[in-house]
A and B are shown apart, each in its own frame.
Chain A
Amino acid sequence: MPVKRKIGKDVLSVNIVGGILIGLFALVCLMPFYLIIIASFTEETSLIRNGYPLIPTDFSIQSYLLCLKNPIAIVRAYGTTISVTLIGTSLSVFLATMTGYVLSRKDFPWRNQFSFFFFFTTLFSGGLVPWYMLCVRYLHFKNSYIGLILPLMFSVWNMIIAKSFMAGIPAEISESAKIDGANDITIFIKLILPLSKPLLATLGLFAALAYWNDWYNCMLYVTDENMFTLQYYLQRVLGSAEAMRIVAEKSGMALPSVPLESMKMAMTVIATGPIVLLYPFVQRYFVKGLTIGAVKG
């Protein structure tokens, strides 16, 4: 048991100021989610008449029932997003850690040259157009799952995080295993990866978020409705709901009886859902896994 210290005035004032500022900011971060969720559970007529509510009124699950009434599109989008996220995340974490490990090996004489080879791509790029042309014309990304997985598979930033973390693992582990006759791949998989759980959790979360939240590559490469990712599907739903509303307004026709407003919010909740639930599982690893360090060295 640690001895209970007397809390000084200065510590108290830091805690009061910090508590208020941090508390307020945390509330601001939470607020929009709360608004979306209660709007999705509000009756459509009430939304039209009174606007989006601040406090829950006219509770209804109608919008969710409507979203799930014709679930094929949502289920397909979920299927695409989940499979792309699982495959992409595993590949991406493996690639970042394996590359980071090699570059963290002090006995590898070309580590700085290779580091710079990777790092240079963050300094200069050909821009969107040549990249897009390459992917569409020569790699045939249009309407292929490859086009949803490959563009997000490797990030130099994640590789630097992996390298910095692995530089903190004692070099003796690799060295002594080497003397015992283990090869580099075995050392990496059997010894280094099990020691890198915080890193794996951190990079895994980043990669999973990137894949789960991807609408950009889907927008660029996918025209087949059966292959839409969840976020792109949401973007389309929001866009078409908005288009329907404008048409209805301009033409003076009555709004269609479909609850557009609450459905939009329900779709937003459905599209965000599962990924947020991932956080509590990886949170304890987070601070340990996220060390950034120099490119060189």
Chain B
Amino acid sequence: MANKTTNKPPKTPFLKTARKHWMLLLMLAPAVIYVLVFSYIPMTGIVLAFKNYQYSGGIYGSPWNGLSNFKALLTAGKLWQVTRNTFLYNVAFIFLGVIFEMGSAILLNELLSKIFKKITQSLMFLPYFISWVVAGAIMYNIFNYERGVFNHILNAFGAGSFDLYNTPDAWPFVIIFLKLWKQTGYGSIVYLAAITGLDQEMFEAASIDGASAWQKIRYLTIPSLVPTMMILVLMAIGNIFRGDFGLFYQTVRSSALLEPSTNVIDTYVFRLLIDNGNIGVSAAAGLYQSVLCFITINICNTLVKRANPDYALY
């Protein structure tokens, strides 16, 4: 080690930097320790995926069992289903999320009536305030077969009742709707913050040149929001194989009938761990998920970097 450092002419004055900025390092310390304990140390726990977990041995003392956890995962036969569900739901969330969030931010920004803007913005943000438990209760209120408001309305129009909790095919629409309902208000504020940070002179100049309001949206606002969008989309792509656990767990509950269309990797891992207590296999499923996410985000980030380095996340 000593040889290496002496070979390089501009010595990195490691200790000198550390001494000079010791107080900044001290301020970083709590977060660094936190992340070490709650993120980096658990990363070493992925060895569990290759172990036959025994209580007495703990994470590091249990005997190795090669790939048999992964074999068990494959023979369980659900892996493809949950992977496909997680991926497709997230693609829909990302795609529609951008349209809804950016769209409402742009429209909110154009509204002339301040009061209308303030009220609607507050209302749109309201769903973000509730937990998925409450959202689940709301779902029950609306879609309950015997007493739900939805069937109320259907019956009033002479249509028959609709039993959502027995119709797996309808769930993708419900889940996507719920997600957009809960997320759009929050997401639109992120874009709105970006819009307020834009150079106003640019818009004034465009007005003087005779650009219409629609043209300004099309040629000025939307292109200026692309950097913000890229950060959000790339971050979402990094989680494209992670399901929103609360959304799926609290609204679907444990219904075997709905499982094919609503089971995602996260609910699958959770049930393996908590209900079946199958630590090795659930760790294997978790590792599979993390590796998939990691590969996807690296590929996407590299592609983006090649196209335009400014938009890359890292």
Q: What DSSP secondary structure best describes chain B's contact surface?
A: helix
Contacts of A193 in B (CB 8 A): none
Give the most central of B103, B138, B192, B232: most A CB within 10 Å.
Answer: B138
Instruction: Enumerate chain A residues within 8 angstroms of B167, measured Cβ to Cβ.
Output: none
Q: Nearest Cβ in chain B — how far from A156, in angstroms? A: 8
CB distance A126 to B290 under 8 Å?
Answer: yes
Interface residues on B, range: 35 or more
Q: Is the CB of B45 within 8 A of A134?
A: yes
Contacts of A26 in B (CB 8 A): 119-120, 123-124
List of B residues within 8 angstroms of A15 by Cβ: 110-113
The residue on B at minimum CB distance from A278 is B129
Which of the segments A3-11, A65-73, A250-258 contacts the partner chain? A3-11
In the complex, the chain B residue whose C-beta lies closest to that of A109 is B17
B269→A129 contact, CB < 8 A: yes
Chain A min CB distance to B152 (Å)? 5
The answer, yes or no, to whether A288 is at the interface (CB within 8 Å) is: yes
- The residue from B34, B112, B130 contacting A7, defined by CB atoms under 8 A apart: B112
Is A234 a contact partner of B152 (Cβ separation < 8 A)? no
Cβ of B137 and Cβ of A265 under 8 Å apart?
yes
**Which secondary structure characterizes the binding site on chain A?**
helix
Which of B84-92, B168-176, B280-288 lies at the interface?
A: B280-288
Query: How far, in angstroms, from A14 to B211 measured CA to CA in the complex?
Result: 13
A132 to chain B, nearest CB (A): 7
A294 to chain B, nearest CB (A): 7
Interface membership of A216, Cβ < 8 A = yes
User: Cβ of A47 and Cβ of B147 under 8 Å apart?
Assistant: yes
B110 engages A51 (CB within 8 Å)? no
**In the bound complex, do residue A36 and residue B137 qualify as a contact, i.e. CB atoms below 8 Å apart?**
yes
How many Å from the CB of B248 to the closest CB on chain A? 12
Q: A119-B314, A123-B294 are in contact. List 6 more A-B contacts (CB 8 A).
A: A13-B213, A22-B111, A126-B287, A130-B45, A154-B31, A231-B134
Could you tell me which A residues sit within 8 Å of B by CB distance? 7-8, 10-11, 13-15, 17-19, 21-23, 25-30, 32-33, 35-36, 39, 47-48, 51-54, 95, 98-99, 101-103, 105, 108-110, 114, 116-119, 121-134, 137, 139, 150-151, 153-154, 156-157, 159, 183-185, 188, 209, 212-216, 231-232, 234-235, 238, 261, 264-265, 268, 271-272, 275-276, 279-280, 283, 286-296
- Pick 27 A–B contacts, CB within 8 A, sort by A: A11-B110, A14-B110, A29-B124, A32-B141, A116-B314, A117-B32, A117-B35, A126-B45, A127-B42, A130-B48, A130-B283, A131-B45, A133-B45, A133-B58, A159-B31, A184-B23, A188-B27, A213-B134, A215-B131, A216-B245, A235-B133, A265-B141, A272-B130, A272-B131, A272-B134, A287-B193, A291-B193
